[in-house]
Amino acid sequence: MSENVQEIRSALRPILADHSSPDEVVAAESAGWNSTLWSVLCEGGFATISVPEQYDGSGGSIADACAVLHELGRSASSVPFAEHALLAGWLLAIGKRSLPDGVLTVIDDPTELQVARTGDAFTVTGTARHVPWASVSAAILAILDIDDQSTAVLLPTEELQLDEQVNLAQEQRRTVVLHNVVVPAKNTWPVPADTAEQLRLRGALSRAALMAGALERATELTVRYTAEREQFGRPIGRFQAVERHVVRLAEAAQQAVMAVAVAGINAHEEIDFFDAASAKIVVGECASTGTAAAHQAHGAIGMTKEYELGQLSRRLWSWRDEYGDEREWARKLGARVSDAGAEALWPRIATG
């Protein structure tokens, strides 16, 4: 682990303990996000980690951004860091543009959007679903094909119609409806052809990093709870059947952390398809086994909305699906791996 990653983690821990405690998480859920925490992260320069300094970011690598996400996941924090910095900030930097004021988000799936040229400007029409943080964003970025050229488009949010929708953890995931929204040419810029895929890989890695943090925290909670809770005259963690749940959860968390760490270290300018897809697949599967084990070991207390475990597991179940679930990525990765041929499989596994 690089020094940077360590520093980021230890700097964030106390901030998140203050502003994303289980009580704060409950409070934030009614708003769909934690605005106080976001302000603190902005003031501290954390909100733009991985966005180059020349474009008004705080600088740092993808691995550094994953460290932030890991901590946010640990504390069940509902803030737009992934979309703002790792996705929108990166897209802006490709267009040599600085970060504008306010929260930024992105459209993961633009397939239902149509764009037309009208003089010097463009008009965009259609629907985008599950757009994170749309109600609190100042602008939304999307990658659209304009005259066969992959193009980043900065959409103003004033004219958009937003349906109030949330994920399983009450985090804002709006349906955005666009009726002839006018985008001036200066708010569009060409991007390399693989940018849409890179955006999705970044999104997938961001969710994997959040999940790895949440799984790590769920393990700590479960180890502690099973040591404290007594039944039949001894701590339940002393029963082998309960030990089994704790160990399965720890195994899930350790695999998740490793997968994200390796994908993060390997990512430089580009994120490798195999790495990010693998991370999302493995972490998604680990979220399933990990939450099942954690809940079984906790009994009824884990099923309450206020208890920290449930805050983590509802996010794990949501993040597992976002930017492609593990089944989608497994299908895509499997197709690529088998196209590359049997002899290429081992060398790829043993890379990085």
Q: How far apart are CA 339 and CA 352, in angstroms?
A: 21
**Which range in 109-117, 149-157, 241-249, 317-325 contacts other proteins by CB under 8 A?**
241-249
Out of 46, 274, 319, 323, point to the residue binding other proteins (CB under 8 A): 274
To 10 degrees, the CA torsion angle through 310, 311, 317, 321?
A: 170
Residues 199-238 that bind other proteins (CB under 8 A): 219, 223, 227, 237
Considering only residues 285 to 314 of the shown chain, the ones binding other proteins according to CB under 8 A are 285
Where do we find the tokens 């081992």? 346
Per-position DSSP letters for 178-213, written without gaps between them: EEEEEEEGGGEEE--TTHHHHHHHHHHHHHHHHHHH
Q: Which stretch binds other proteins (CB under 8 A): 66-74, 85-93, 140-148, 252-260?
A: 252-260
Q: Are 171 and 318 in contact (CB under 8 A)?
A: yes
> Do 88 and 105 contact (CB within 8 A), yes or no?
yes
| Comparison of 119 and 347: residue with beta carbon closer to other proteins | 347
One character per residue 121-160, x = contact with other proteins (rule: CB under 8 A): ----------------------------------------
- Quote the DSSP letter at residue 325: -
CA distances from 208 to 82, 128, 135 (A): 11, 22, 24
Helix (H) or strand (E) holding 14, with range, is helix 3-19
| Closer residue to other proteins (CB): 77 or 278 | 278
**By CB under 8 A, is residue 118 in contact with other proteins?**
no
Q: Is 13 in the site for other proteins (CB under 8 A)?
A: no
Contacts with other proteins by CB under 8 A lie at: 1, 219, 223, 227, 237, 240, 243-244, 246-247, 250-251, 254-255, 257-259, 261-262, 265-266, 274-275, 277-279, 281-282, 285, 326-327, 329-335, 337-339, 341-342, 345-350, 352
